[in-house]
Amino acid sequence: MKINKKTYVKNIIKRLSLIYPNAKITLKFSSPFELVIATILAAQCTDKRVNIVTEKLFKKYKTPKDYIKTPLQEIEHDIKSTGFFRNKAKHIKELAIKIVNDYEDKVPDSIKELTQLPGVGRKTANVVISNCFYRNEGVIVDTHMIRIAQLLGLTYEKDAVKIEKELNELMEPKDYLYFSNLIIALGRNICIARRPKCEICPLNNICPSSRI
Ligand code: SF4
């Protein structure tokens, strides 16, 4: 069954790569620290909106110390349009303090250390490790991945950590990031929550949840 599922995943990658050959992260960043901040802001918000906000934000706040010396209310104001701004600002301020105190102003490069930063879970840690440190440690399990992996019958788990573990076993580590970006692109454009466009989906004759 595992072997069949691996073949199935290869087929999914092959089909999706035809419509999204250059699938990659859409958040804009120029350092691991900027990507951590952008990924925190992207929770419950579109990458497009985050990119608008970070264009100004990253000019104003260049280092963790810039967030530390700025009053919390001012950070909240600067990120307000991304939603859930109070929580996000609190996490950003706390993680800036931890990065300065524990990691000499640098974002740590291990999943274990990253996930100990305030507001950083495995999803964000995998985003940063794969896009900034170029290591393949795990599939990025965001809301698109959870929904679509279930629709495709790749997992019946609901917990993100368990889903990641299952998916990691179904492909080569070199495919973790590309597979993640392909599924995220599919989730944004075709397999949209509540109204999947199965009629134009390249997976519609292999997906067990296809509506056609
Ligand atoms: S066939 Fe439909 S349900 Fe399956 S992945 Fe495509 S859009 Fe989603």
pLDDT tens digit sequence for 149-194: 999 999 999 999 999 999 999 999 999 999 999 999 999 999 999 9
Pocket test for ligand 1, best of 152, 179, 182 (most atoms within 8 A of CB): 152
Q: Which atom of ligand 1 is nearest to the CA of 196?
A: 7
Is 127 within 8 Å of 140 (Cβ atoms)? yes
How much of the chain, in percent, has pLDDT values that exceed 70? Answer: 99
Q: What is the mean pLDDT of residues 110-132?
A: 97
- Alpha carbon nearest to ligand 1 atom 8, residue: 191
Pocket test for ligand 1, best of 8, 146, 191 (most atoms within 8 A of CB): 191
Q: What is the mean pLDDT of residues 50-74?
A: 98
pLDDT tens digits for range 97-113:
999 999 999 999 999 99
Q: What is the mean pLDDT of residues 128-148?
A: 97
Task: Give the integer Cα–Cα distance in Å for 116 and 128.
Answer: 14
Exposure string over 95-114, b if 16+ CB within 10 A, otherwise e? bbebbbeeeeeebbeebeeb
Statement: residue 1 has pLDDT above 50: no
Task: Retrieve residue 182's tokens.
Answer: 């392909």
What's the pTM value of the predicted model, to 2 decimals? 0.94
Task: Retrieve residue 146's tokens.
Answer: 């959870």
Which residues does a 6 A CB cutoff place in the pocket of ligand 1? 148, 151-152, 190-191, 196-198, 201, 203-204, 207, 209-210
Is 5 within 8 Å of 189 (Cβ atoms)? no
Q: Which atom of ligand 1 is nearest to the CA of 201?
A: 6
Q: What is the mean pLDDT of residues 107-131?
A: 97
pLDDT at 112: 97
Exposure of 130 in the CB half-sphere (CA atoms within 13 A) = 23
Pocket test for ligand 1, best of 147, 199, 203, 205 (most atoms within 8 A of CB): 203
pLDDT tens digits for range 22-51:
999 999 999 999 999 999 999 999 999 999
For the chain, the C-alpha Rg in angstroms (whole number) is 18
Domains and CATH numbers, the chain: 2-23+138-200 (1.10.1670.10), 32-106 (1.10.340.30)
**pLDDT bucket at 3, cuts 50 / 70 / 90:** low
Q: Which atom of ligand 1 is nearest to the CA of 190?
A: 7
